[in-house]
Amino acid sequence: QSGEIFGILRQMKETFESNLSASQKEEMANQKAYEDLKAAKESEIAAGQAQIEAKTGELADTDEKNAQSKVDVEDTKASLSADEQFLMMLKEKCQMTDKEWEERQKTRQLEMEAVSKALAVLAGDDAHDLFTKTFNPAFVQTRSAEESQRRAQAS
């Protein structure tokens, strides 16, 4: 009977040793898989952190550009408003200048017409005859120089 017991115990020992060896191989394979998975996850975490830092930097740059753009928009609006006011004033001034020009042109035209009529009247034969009839040599001033000298001596 003790031989049978030893046989059973040997068989149990061999089974345990083979189970132990299989379990150790499986454990080593699981350990290697765990190490590989851990390394992959750590590299993903590092890549995620790097991406977070990059996106944070981009966000800061974008916020700065946005703020600068808002300032630029305000400056542009103020400049546009000033330019529009200047344009309105310039248009009013131009309208006034155009009106004044038209008035001067009309006045000049009327003056030219009046001068033309006056020249026509003065250059006409009737005016020439009238001038020759009314011209009297006795009315010509001859002594103004002498009287001016007397006045200068008297004073």
Mean pLDDT of 109-135: 83
pTM of the model: 0.43
pLDDT above 60: residue 145: no
The rounded distance, in Å, linking the Cα atoms of 101 and 95 is 10
- For residue range 12-43, list pLDDT tens digits in order: 999 999 999 999 999 999 999 999 999 999 99
Yes or no: say if 121 and 127 are a contact pair by the CB < 8 Å rule: yes
Question: In the prediction, which pLDDT does 148 show?
Answer: 63
Question: In the prediction, which pLDDT does 143 show?
Answer: 61
